[in-house]
Structure 1
Amino acid sequence: MAHLILDPVMTNSTGFILLLVFLFGVTILVHAQQQTGFISIDCGGPENFEYTDEDTKIKYVTDGSYIQTGVNKNISSDYAYPKNPNLPYPLSDLRSFPHGNRNCYRLIAGTKGSLHLIRASFLYGNYDGENKLPEFDLYVGVNFWSSVKFKNASEQVALETISMATSEETNVCLVNKGKGIPFISALELRPIDNSIYKTEFGDSASLLLFKRWDIGSFNGSGRYQDDVYDRIWFPLKSSSWKSISTSSKIDVSGDGYKPPFEVIRNAATPRNENDSLEFSWISDDRNLKFNVYLYFAEVEKLNKTQLREFDVSWNGSPLIKSIIPRYLQATTVFNSKSLVANEHRISIQKTEDSTLPPILNAVEIYVVRQLDALPTSEEDGMTCCNI
C-alpha cells in the first residue's frame, strides 16, 4: 500500500504541537489588501516600530500597544545574523516576563463568536546568557493552550490554535510555572470564516494544529498570497505516491476552507493504481481527540469512460463514502466525530466502480481540545489575565 507513518505523537504538556517548527523564512507574497483583520506582532521590538518583513511581505508592528508588562530582549549574537544568515527578522528579539505569574497580550479582533487562527512563535537563542531552556504554559483567556518546551537554544517553536472569541478581546497569556521565565518572539492572529473547522463540540472546543500538508508538492513555498487565512503548508511526499498537477485555475469559491492555488493544484495518487493512499500516526494517549480535514480537487480532465471515486476509512471503519472530486473545483471533507485511539490510519481506497486510483491534494490534522471554562462576562475574561 502507498503508506506513510509518522513519528509517535507526544502527549505531555508540550506534546504533539511542539513537533511544529515555525519557518518564517519561507518565500511568500502577501499583499496588504489580503491582510484585512490580520494582527502581526513582533514581540520585543523597538517601541512604535513597524515594518514589512522581507521574507513574508507581512506588515509587523511591535507589541507596546498590546501589553504593558515584560522586558524587551535580543537573542544572543551566537544565534543571530550574520552567524545565522537565515534567521527570520521577527525571531531576532523577544519579550520576556520575569515578573508576575501570568502576563497577557490583549488582542482586539472582531466580535464575540468570531473564529481566529492564532500562532505564537518562540526562539530562546540564549537571550538571557543563562543557557537554561525555560518551560512555561500558554493560555487563550482562561483556557490552557499548550506548554512551551525547547530541545535546544536554536529551536524555533510555533504553536497554532483555532478558537472562537468569547468577547471582542482575545487574551493570549504566558504563565510562569516555576521552570524558567516565559517569553515570546512573535504573535499572529488571522480571522477565519465561522462556517469552517467545525467540531462535534460546537463552540466549546478549540483545535490545536498537529500537521498541515501540501500533498504532492515538489517545491511549494509554504505560504501564499491567495491563502486568505495565512496558513503554513509543509510539502509531504512518499516514494509510494506519484504527483499529478494542473496549471488551470481551480474554483475554491464553494469551499469555505479556500485552499491556496499552489496547494490545491497538486495531488498525490498511488503509483500502483490498485493500492490505497494512506497516512498514519501514533498517540500514546488514547484519549486524545483528532479531527482530519481532507482537501480534494480533480486536476485531470477525465473522459466519459473514466471515473475517479473513492471511500475514506479510519482504522478499517468507514469514515466518508463515495467521494467523486469535481474537475477544477475544491472540496474539503472531515470526520463528524472525533477520532480517538492509540493508532490512527487514514486509508483512501477506490470503489469497485472506479476506473482510476484515489487522489489527495492536502490534509490538516488537529487535536480537538474541549475548553476548560468560558468567561461568564467580558469582565471575567479581563480579570483572568491580571495576575
Structure 2
Amino acid sequence: MVLSKYFLFATLLMALVQGDDNNPTGFLSIDCGSLDSSYVDETTGFTYHSDEGFTETGENREIVNAYKVQLQTNERQFRNVRSFPEGIRNCYTLKPTLGDQGTRYMIRARFMYGNYDNENLAPTFDLYLGVDFWDTVLTQHAWNRVNKEIIFFPKSDDHLYVCLVNTGHGFPFISALELRPWVDGNQTYVSKSGSLGLFQRSDLNPAIDQVMRYKEDVYDRLWSPLTGDNRFVPINTTKGNNITKNIYQLPSPIMRTAYEPNITIHDDNLGILIDPSNSSAPLLYYFYFHFAEIQELRKNESREFTISINGNLTHGPLVPIYLVTNTVISTSGGTNSDGKIHVWLNRTQNSTKPPLLNALEVYWLTEFTQQETNQADVNAIQNIKSAYQVTKNWQGDPCAPKAFLWDGLGCSYGGNSSPRIISLNLSSSGLNGVISPYFSDLTMLQALDLSNNSLSGTVPEFLANLSSLRILNLKKNKLEGPLPSALLERSNDGLSLSVDANVMGNLTPPPTTNQTSSSAEDWCRKNKFVVSLVASVEAFLLQFVLSTS
C-alpha cells in the first residue's frame, strides 16, 4: 500500500513515542508550530514533537516577545503556533497509538494567540473531532490560554482527525495537541452514552498559582487552582502522602488541601457557581466531587453534608473518611433561571463541622452521531492521493460533514450507513503515470473523470469491473490502445465512455445506431453533453460536463 509522506512520518513518530522512555505507553505530545523536531519538556519529562507530518497545511509562527516573557518555563508549547490562513477546514491526522478501539482516550487541544500576527484580534473558530463538532475556540485576549479537552472512544483504530474550521472570525491556530490513553480508566469518567468534554477542573488550593499536571497526575490532567475567593477558607494536612487514592488517582498534593465555607461572611454551607454562558456545550453536565477528610476530628466533632445542584438534592448525607479519597458523581440537566449552575454543599443538622471540598471536575456530555466515510473508501482515496501526490486540500474525512466534502468528490448519504464515494472528478489535476489500480477499490463509484491529465500506458481492464460505473471520461491524456473489450461491452450496456480516438486501437466499433456513427473515431468524438446522475440513496444530483476536442 502506498502511503503519503505525511502518514509515513506520522507513523515513524508513533513508533518513537511508543518506544521513548520519556513517554508513558501511548502518550503523544505535539508542539504545534515548533521549529524543533523534538525536545524534552522540563516539567513533565515528555518528549514533544513538532507537528510536521501530522498536518499538510498551515504556517509556523511565533507569539510576540512580550507574551513569551509572561510564560512560565513549563509552558514552552505556547511560544509558537501553527496558523491556518488558507482553506475552511484544516486537519491533523493522528493514529491512536494503542491501536485498540476498546481504549478510551483523552485528547487536549491548547491555544494561546499571543498576537502572533500583530493584528491584536484574537480569533474565534470551531474545533471538530473527526466528523463531529467538538467545541468553539474563543480566545478573547492575546494572553488567554484556552484548553479544549475531551474523553472519548475513537470511531476508528486507524486514524483520528482533529480539525480547525474557519468561521469568518479570524484565522484558526493551535499551540499544542496532546493524546492520552485512558488505559486503566474503564471504570472512570463513564457516561451512559457519548463523550465527556471538560468544562472545568479545579484544585481547591490557594497555596499555588500554577497548573498541576504530570508527573503528579498519572493521567496528565491539568488542575487549575481555585484561588482568590474570600467565600472560602483553606484547610490542609501535613499527612497528604498518606491519603488513600481511589480509582480516579487524584494526586496527593490535590487531596491534602481543601476549602470550607467562610462562615464570617456567609453561612456554614459551601456554594460554587458554574457559569457556562460562554460555552457551546449542551445541557447535561457531569460533576465529579472529590473528598477526603484531612482534619483529625475529635470525638464530639462530626462532618456531614449533602450535595444539591440548582436546588435539587443529588447526594447525601455524606461523611468524608479521614485520609481516604472518595468521589461522588452528580448530573445536572441544565442551568438555573439565571443561566448558571448553582452547586451547594449543605451541612446537616447532625454535623458540627461545615462541608469541605478538595477538588471538583465538571464535564458536559456530547453525542458524536455523524457517520464517518466507509473505511475501504477512505483507504482507496488516500492511496490515490498518495499515488499521484494530489495537491488539492484533501484533509480530514472525505465525505463528512457534507459542508467539508473533498473537492471533486460526490458521496451518498443515508440513514445510519457510512457515506460512500460515488463520483470522483480529477480532471486537470496534473496526474502522471498509469491509471492506478486503487481506483478499483472505490467499489461504489458511478462516475470517474480523469480527463485533461498526463496519464500514460493502456486503459486497464479493471475499470470494467466497477459494476456501478456509469460515466468514464479519459480524454486528453497520453493513453494508448487498444481499449479493453470489456469496457466496449460496458459502453453498449449504458456506460458513457469518453476516450481519445487513438485509444480505440483495432477494435471494431459497435453497430451504427441513432447515438453512434459508423466509424470508431466518430463514435468516440461526441458533442458536448451534460449527464445528470441521481444517487440511489437520496436525491443527489451530480452534473458532469464531458467535453471533446
Give the RMSD, CA atoms, in angstroms.
Answer: 3.0
* Native 8 Å contact 2:212 2:224 kept in 1: no
* Native 8 Å contact 1:250 1:265 kept in 2: no
Structure 2 residue aligned with 1:355: 352
Cα deviation, residue 362, structure 1: 0.7
Question: Is the alpha carbon distance of 1:196 and 1:350 closer, same or farther for their aligned partners in structure 2, counting shifts above 3 Å?
Answer: same
Among 262, 266, 271, the alignment partner of 1:278 is 271
Moved more, 174-183 or 342-351: 174-183
Structure 1 residue aligned with 2:190: 198
- Aligned pairs, number: 350
Q: Are residue 322 (structure 1) and residue 317 (structure 2) matched?
A: yes
Among 224, 242, 249, the alignment partner of 1:258 is 249
TM-superposition CA deviations, 1:243-263 (whole Å, max 9, x none): 22122224454x222111111
Query: What SS does the aligned partner of 1:335 have?
Result: strand
1:1-387 to 2 correspondences below 5 Å: 35-46=24-35, 49-77=37-65, 79-80=67-68, 84=70, 86=72, 88-109=75-96, 110=98, 111-168=100-157, 169-192=159-182, 193-199=185-191, 201-202=192-193, 204=194, 206-219=195-208, 221-224=210-213, 225-237=215-227, 238-248=229-239, 249-253=241-245, 255-272=246-263, 275-283=268-276, 288-336=283-331, 338-341=333-336, 342-375=339-372, 378=375, 382-383=397-398, 384=400, 387=406
More helix by share: 2
Question: Is the alpha carbon distance of 1:303 and 1:133 closer, same or farther for their aligned partners in structure 2, counting shifts above 3 Å?
Answer: closer
CA distance in 1, matches of 2:292, 2:374: 43
Give the alignment's TM-score, normalised by structure 2: 0.58
Unaligned runs of 5+ in 2: 1-19, 379-395, 407-549
* Native 8 Å contact 1:73 1:93 kept in 2: yes
Cα deviation, residue 70, structure 1: 2.4
CA distance in 2, matches of 1:126, 1:191: 33
* Native 8 Å contact 2:282 2:365 kept in 1: no
CA distance in 2, matches of 1:160, 1:260: 19
More strand by share: 1
CA distance in 1, matches of 2:210, 2:130: 33
Choose 1 or 2 for highest CA Rg. 2
Query: What SS does the aligned partner of 2:196 have?
Result: strand
CA distance in 1, matches of 2:237, 2:149: 30
Higher relative contact order (CA 8 A, sep 6+): 1
Cα deviation, residue 386, structure 1: 7.8
Identity, in percent, stands at 37
TM-superposition CA deviations, 1:133-186 (whole Å, max 9, x none): 433211111111122233233433322222222222321111123333322111
Moved more, 272-281 or 162-171: 272-281
CA distance in 2, matches of 1:198, 1:216: 26
Give the alignment's TM-score, normalised by structure 1: 0.80
TM-superposition CA deviations, 1:181-238 (whole Å, max 9, x none): 3221111122221321123x42x2x223222111144226422423112122222243
Question: Is the alpha carbon distance of 1:216 and 1:135 closer, same or farther for their aligned partners in structure 2, counting shifts above 3 Å?
Answer: closer
Cα deviation, residue 264, structure 1: 0.7
* Native 8 Å contact 1:286 1:340 kept in 2: no
Aligned AA (1:198): V
Query: What SS does the aligned partner of 1:90 have?
Result: helix
Aligned AA (1:334): I
Unaligned runs of 5+ in 1: 1-30
Question: Is the alpha carbon distance of 1:318 and 1:32 closer, same or farther for their aligned partners in structure 2, counting shifts above 3 Å?
Answer: farther
